[in-house]
Structure formats: C-alpha cells, structure tokens
C-alpha cells in the first residue's frame, strides 16, 4: 500500500492526541495556586479541541480505507508522549509541561504534512496544515504566558 507509512504515523498521532486528552484533564483537575481559575478553564477548552481533532484524524484514516487504533492498549503502545501521574502540580509548571507536549505535537504535525504530500494526498496535508497552525498559535500563547 502506497500510504502505509502515512497511516502508521497517523495512528501514532491519534494515540498522542488520546494521551494528550487524558493529560489535559489531569492538569484541569490537579493544578493548584494562583491562576487556577483561568488555567482550569483553558485546559477544558484545550481537551475539548483535542477530542474534535482526534475524531477527525480517526475518521480520515477510515476515509482512506484503513482502520484507526481505537483502544487504550493500542494508544499506550503507539504513543510517543509520556503519561503523567495523578498528583497536584503548580499552575506555571503545568503550562511548561503542556508546552513540551505541544512542541512534540507541532513537530509531528509538520512531518505529517510532508508525509501526506509525499503520498500525493492534498486533503490529508490540508487537514494537518490546519492542526499545525493551531499548535503553532497555542505555543505562542504558552510562551507569552511563561515570559
Ligand atoms: Fe471540569
């Protein structure tokens, strides 16, 4: 199959989004200190956005005639992100951690644009271009917060 590697990397991306979805809940619940109210709400916005994205990626894999990973077992085997223990964390430290994961996601998104183009798939490339733009913008916001 021509796009075998693209599908494989899309499933890794899907696994990472699922991990990110859980991790953003972890921060939403476990942050402590000044800025709680603002970041609590921000993490909710982020995980709601991530769940829309992961659904689009999974459905794109189906449209391409393949099968998306759909179990926690597969996601944990495929992910390149690390899970976070269930423990309190200071607001600013949480933003630093989320920024690290978003940097990984941004770089992976750029790679997926290239893989999609190489597979001759402008629709998938366009989908990932939109995600790259989103991650890039969120990274700017996190850098501004941490400055
Ligand atoms: Fe909540």
Residue 13: burial class (beta carbons within 10 Å; 0-12, 13-18, 19+): buried
The confidence score (pLDDT) of residue 2 equals 67
Q: Ligand 1 centre from 90 Cα, in Å?
A: 17
Q: Ligand 1 centre from 19 Cα, in Å?
A: 17
Return d(Cα 108, Cα 64) in angstroms, integer.
Answer: 20
- Do the beta carbons of residue 66 and residue 22 sit within 8 Å? no
User: In sequence order, what are the residues at sequence separation of 6 or more whose Cβ sits closer than 8 angstroms to the Cβ of residue 27?
Assistant: 39, 43, 84, 89, 94, 97, 98
The confidence score (pLDDT) of residue 1 equals 54
Residue ranges for the chain with pLDDT beneath 70: 1-2
Mean pLDDT (the chain, rounded):
97
Q: Ligand 1 centre from 44 Cα, in Å?
A: 7
- The string of pLDDT tens digits covering residues 111-138 is 999 999 999 999 999 999 999 999 999 9
The residue written with tokens 């917060």 in the block is: 145
Q: Ligand 1 centre from 121 Cα, in Å?
A: 38
The confidence score (pLDDT) of residue 3 equals 85
Of 87, 89, 135, the C-alpha closest to 111 is: 135
């Amino acid at each position: 199959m021509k796009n075998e590697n693209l599908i494989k990397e899309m499933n890794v991306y899907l696994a990472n989004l699922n991990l990110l979805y859980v991790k953003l809940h972890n921060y939403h619940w476990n942050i402590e200190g000044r800025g709680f109210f603002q970041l609590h709400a921000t993490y909710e916005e982020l995980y709601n956005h991530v769940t829309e994205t992961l659904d689009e990626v999974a459905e794109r894999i189906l449209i391409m005639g393949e099968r998306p990973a759909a179990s926690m077992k597969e996601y944990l085997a495929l992910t390149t992100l690390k899970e976070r223990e269930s423990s309190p964390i200071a607001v600013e430290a949480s933003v630093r951690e989320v920024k690290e994961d978003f940097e990984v996601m941004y770089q992976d998104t750029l790679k997926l644009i290239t893989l999609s183009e190489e597979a001759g798939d402008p629709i998938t490339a366009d989908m990932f271009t939109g995600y790259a733009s989103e991650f890039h913008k969120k990274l700017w916001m996190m850098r501004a917060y941490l400055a």
